Amino acid sequence: MSKSRSPYHRGRRREYSEKPQSMRQEQKPQARPMPLGRKCNPLCPLFRCSKRALIITTRAIRGKPVRVAFCRWIGDECIGASCQYAFCATRSLLPNGECLHAVQKTTGKEKDIIEELKEEEINDKMKSLLTKRFGRKDLDAF
């Protein structure tokens, strides 16, 4: 009998940090928001109902299968963001029914102060004051 192997242990030894294959969890890809324009969409994977009454079903409309959000609580189609029980899993549903992810995409970047100064007509005193205040020498180039 060799000293490296115990008579009571068969097979390869597991490290303590390694989990058994049955306990391993595969990471799911993160859900991305699917707004309709700027409005929240009840078919979005992040849209939730606090009553747990939301069901996504497939109905034939004009002969084509279409996914439809159905509310079990009222027995009709979901009214989406205007429902008092609607919320977003990432807290992106704004009070007016817009999706915060869509609003941020459409607004874009804020304009830099230098670009604003180039657009506006500012006299020399104001330019020198702003140059001193911000410590930027490239503001004198206007």
What domain range is 98 assigned to? 32-108
Residue 5 lies in a domain: no
Task: Specify whether 120 is located in the same domain as 102.
Answer: no
pLDDT band at residue 18 under the 50/70/90 scheme? low
Q: pLDDT value at position 141?
A: 54
Check whether 60 has a pLDDT greater than 70: yes
Task: State the Cα–Cα distance between residues 58 and 55, nearest whole angstrom.
Answer: 10
Q: What percent of the chain has pLDDT over 90?
A: 42
pTM of the predicted model as reported, rounded to 2 decimal places:
0.55
Task: Specify whether 123 is located in the same domain as 104.
Answer: no
**Can you tell me whether residue 132 is helix, strand or coil?**
helix
Residue 9 lies in a domain: no
Task: Specify whether 136 is located in the same domain as 115.
Answer: yes
Task: Specify whether 122 is located in the same domain as 103.
Answer: no
CA 138 to chain centre: 38
Task: Specify whether 100 is located in the same domain as 131.
Answer: no
Which of 9-18, 26-35, 41-50 is modeled with the greatest confidence? 41-50
Q: Which whole number is the average pLDDT over 19-28?
A: 65
Residue 16 lies in a domain: no
Residue 104 lies in a domain: yes
Task: State the Cα–Cα distance between residues 65 and 68, nearest whole angstrom.
Answer: 9
Check whether 77 has a pLDDT greater than 90: yes
Render pLDDT for 83-133 as a digit per residue (tens, 0 to 9). Answer: 999 999 999 999 999 999 888 877 655 556 666 666 666 666 777 777 777
Task: Specify whether 102 is located in the same domain as 116.
Answer: no
Residue 116 lies in a domain: yes
Cβ atoms of 49 and 86 within 8 Å: the answer is yes
Q: pLDDT value at position 106?
A: 72
Q: pLDDT value at position 96?
A: 93
Q: How many domains does the chain have?
A: 2
Task: Specify whether 97 is located in the same domain as 139.
Answer: no
Task: Specify whether 73 is located in the same domain as 127.
Answer: no
